[in-house]
Amino acid sequence: MEALYDIPRQFIIGLAETGKIHYTFSYAFVVNGFLCAFVIGPLLGGIGTMVVAKRMAFFSQAVGNAALTGVAIGVIIGESYTAPYLSMFSFCLLFGLVLNFARNRTKMSSDTLIGVFLSISLAIGATALLWVSAKVNTHILDTVMFGSILTVNDTDMNVLLVTALLAAVTALPLYNQMLLASLNPSLAHVRGVRVNLLEYVFVLLLTILTVACVKIVGAVLVEALLLIPAAAARNLNRSIRGFVLWSIVFSTVSCLVGIYAPMRWDLPVPSGGAIILTAAAIFLVSMVVRMLLPRYREASF
Amino acid sequence: MAGPSIEFDGVGLVLGSTTILEQVSFGVAAGSIHCVVGANGGGKTSLIRALLGQMPHTGRITLNWQDNRVIGYVPQTLDFDRSLPVTVLDFMAMATQRRPVFLGMSGKQREQIARRLAELGLADRMHARLGSLSGGERQRVLLAQALIPEPGLLVLDEPATGLDLAGRDILERTITGFARAGGTVVWINHDIVQVGEIADRLTYINRRVLLDGAPREVLASGVAAQLFPTLGLVQRGAA
């Protein structure tokens, strides 16, 4: 599979070494980050539209923050502290599934329930981190929390590529069904949609994405990249096609700028932070455009 | 498009310690318009959800299907964020095709959707945002999706809510046309005047079946006058 990356990687490095593009691209890890951005951008941008449509922003944020606890548990049980994939995936998955189960079974409002679960998860995470600090320098965990392209290797790229393919194969055929179920579950059921099953599939998707994007965007910030580009695209579009396409564009641009800008101008910002700040800037512009131009204000009552 | 006949036989439903439905038995003839009326909280929507297989219940609900086993369903409302960028066409595509809606639709599908929307007076609203429609227009969009693909059974949960006079005429014309072509209609309806005008049969439910029969006979009974306090006014107005 490495050959798959080597061809574009060597090509881009070659261009940088001959001065055709900026010399920053002569570093393999920068090129790795860029290759990942072209996978993460469309992936999170596309799935993000579903998060916004299903009004699951808080839910996905909670799943993302659960990664913090997953990382701490991973280090305690002896996983690599730069890539504790197994613990992170297991804990996020457990968190998401139990939360979704409780949401379906109780009459409690969704935001209250998510708030309770999130608090429990963070409390466990904080306790576990205290133990972890005795074993390793917790600053090392910053790369997992907030992203760092310096540590992206071929294994991380393999995880990302397989996850992206899995997510695309799952989400594309189910996109309409998930959207319809969010508008009216009864109607979706009559049309043959297995509404409850799809809820769990979506939780699974969010969890896998969180874990796969952790090296580039960081565990804590992945969910922001699911939400912000889609929210910006929503401000400027009236159809689903525009919503999805612009969300993908905003997400991809955020990733590319967030990876490139700190390298190019020596900014002391982790890649995750830079990516989210870029997305936030796009969102702010979209809000201003929406407020100033009447054609974008339709149906905003 | 021959629709099914339906038999509700001793249907009961208990949620927690509350009895929602108790020994509900009545029949719906194939190709008829059957209106279900009753007080708020009387179990009408629960009965419909039991019919659609979405509610666990006791007793038996039998659908005697003929050639067309498709169910079209018009829900009471859509629970969605009004600022969501979903056009009427997007919603129709989302409900009626598997291809992700952002990848577009086939020409044939688009033509079918456009035809249905035009029949329901929504030809010029195809590209409008779903959130910008009036309540009545949204109800007609819901009816349009229920008619694709052509169903044998049409189940409506108070679709006339929020409809203006023109919208109400279009709705009635579409539903009577559907039943005349052989389709079966089960319709929860609060508008007793409308029920009297177009239903073939009426069933009044308040946990149990209190009235069941042809609207003309049922509405003339003394029990009906107690159950529908405005009925006398309506009849006097009509006279």
> Given a cut of 70, is residue A115 above it in pLDDT?
yes
Q: Provide the residue type at A11 as one letter.
A: F
What is the rounded CA–CA span in Å between residue A176 and residue B137? Answer: 22
Nearest alpha-carbon partner for A219 in A82, A46, A29, A25: A82
Interaxial angle between packed helices A2-17 and A154-183, expressed in degrees from 0 to 180 and rounded to the nearest 10: 110
ipTM: 0.89
Note whether residue A11 is domain-resident. no
Average the pLDDT over A151-162 and give the result: 85
| Cis bond upstream, residue B149 (ω within 30) | yes
- 8 Å CB contact of A240 and B52: no
What is the rounded CA–CA span in Å between residue A141 and residue A81? Answer: 7
Domain ends where: B149, B174, B202?
B149
Average the pLDDT over A217-237 and give the result: 88
Task: Please give the DSSP secondary-structure letter assigned to residue B4.
Answer: P
Domain ends where: B119, B149, B179?
B149
- 8 Å CB contact of A241 and B104: yes
Query: Could you tell me the two tokens for B74?
Result: 């018009």
> In the structure, what pLDDT confidence band is assigned to residue A62 with cuts at 50, 70 and 90?
confident
Block residue for tokens 């509405």? B219
Note whether residue A267 is domain-resident. yes
> Given a cut of 80, is residue B227 above it in pLDDT?
no
- 8 Å CB contact of B85 and A234: yes
Average the pLDDT over A189-203 and give the result: 93
- Chosen from B94, B113, B137 to mutate, greatest number of chain A CBs within 10 A: B94
Higher-pLDDT residue of A253 and A298 is A253
What pLDDT, in 10s, does the model give residues A63-81? 888 888 888 888 888 888 7
- Is residue B156 domain-shared with residue B236, that is, in the same domain? yes
- Is residue B115 domain-shared with residue B94, that is, in the same domain? yes
Name A107's Cβ contacts closer than 8 Å, sequence gap at least 6. Answer: none
Question: What is the per-residue DSSP string for B10-70?
Answer: EEEEEETTEEEEEEEEEEE-TT-EEEEE--TTSSHHHHHHHHTT-S--EEEEEEE--S---
What pLDDT, in 10s, does the model give residues B109-165? 999 999 999 999 999 999 999 999 988 899 999 999 999 999 999 999 987 766 778
Chain B nearest-CA residue for A241? B102
- Chosen from B15, B102, B186 to mutate, greatest number of chain A CBs within 10 A: B102
Strand order in the sheet with B5-15: B18-28, B5-15, B58-64
Nearest alpha-carbon partner for A58 in A117, A143, A2: A117
> In the structure, what pLDDT confidence band is assigned to residue A43 with cuts at 50, 70 and 90?
very high
Note whether residue A90 is domain-resident. yes
- Is residue B164 domain-shared with residue B219, that is, in the same domain? yes
- Is residue B92 domain-shared with residue B54, that is, in the same domain? no
- Is residue B50 domain-shared with residue B157, that is, in the same domain? yes
Nearest alpha-carbon partner for B72 in B163, B170, B149, B133: B149
> Given a cut of 50, is residue A300 above it in pLDDT?
no
- Is residue B90 domain-shared with residue B112, that is, in the same domain? yes
What pLDDT, in 10s, does the model give residues A99-108? 988 988 887 8
Asked whether the beta carbons of A46 and A247 are under 8 A apart, the reply is: yes
**Total number of domains constituting chain B:** 2
Provide, rounded to the nearest whole percent, the portion of chain A with pLDDT above 90: 42
- 8 Å CB contact of B85 and A189: no
- Is residue B231 domain-shared with residue B160, that is, in the same domain? yes
Higher-pLDDT residue of A86 and B221 is A86
Name A248's Cβ contacts closer than 8 Å, sequence gap at least 6. Answer: A41, A42, A45, A46, A229
pLDDT at residue A249 in the model: 97
pLDDT at residue B45 in the model: 92
Average the pLDDT over B24-50 and give the result: 94
Domain ends where: B92, B127, B149?
B149
- Is residue B89 domain-shared with residue B155, that is, in the same domain? no
Report the CATH number that the domain containing residue A84 is assigned in CATH. Answer: 1.10.3470.10
> In the structure, what pLDDT confidence band is assigned to residue A146 with cuts at 50, 70 and 90?
confident
Per DSSP, helices labelled H in chain B are 44-51, 88-96, 107-119, 135-146, 165-180, 192-198, 215-220, 222-227, 231-238
Nearest alpha-carbon partner for B22 in B53, B57, B48, B61: B57
Residue B71: which of A180, A190, A299 has the nearest Cβ?
A190
Q: What is the mean pLDDT of chain B?
A: 89
- Is residue B184 domain-shared with residue B132, that is, in the same domain? no
Nearest alpha-carbon partner for A212 in A278, A168, A257: A168
Provide, rounded to the nearest whole percent, the portion of chain B with pLDDT above 70: 91
**Total number of domains constituting chain A:** 1
Residues of B in contact with A249 (CB under 8 A): none
Name A176's Cβ contacts closer than 8 Å, sequence gap at least 6. Answer: B93, B94, B95, B97, B98, B99, B100, B101
Report the CATH number that the domain containing residue B157 is assigned in CATH. Answer: 3.40.50.300
> Given a cut of 70, is residue B171 above it in pLDDT?
yes
- Is residue B208 domain-shared with residue B234, that is, in the same domain? yes
Q: Provide the residue type at A179 as one letter.
A: L
pLDDT at residue A136 in the model: 75
- Is residue B64 domain-shared with residue B156, that is, in the same domain? yes
Asked which of A106-110, B14-18, B222-226 is least confident by mean pLDDT, the reply is B222-226
Domain of residue B197: give its range.
1-70+151-239
- Is residue B118 domain-shared with residue B3, that is, in the same domain? no
> Given a cut of 80, is residue A58 above it in pLDDT?
yes
Note whether residue A70 is domain-resident. yes
- 8 Å CB contact of B82 and A183: no
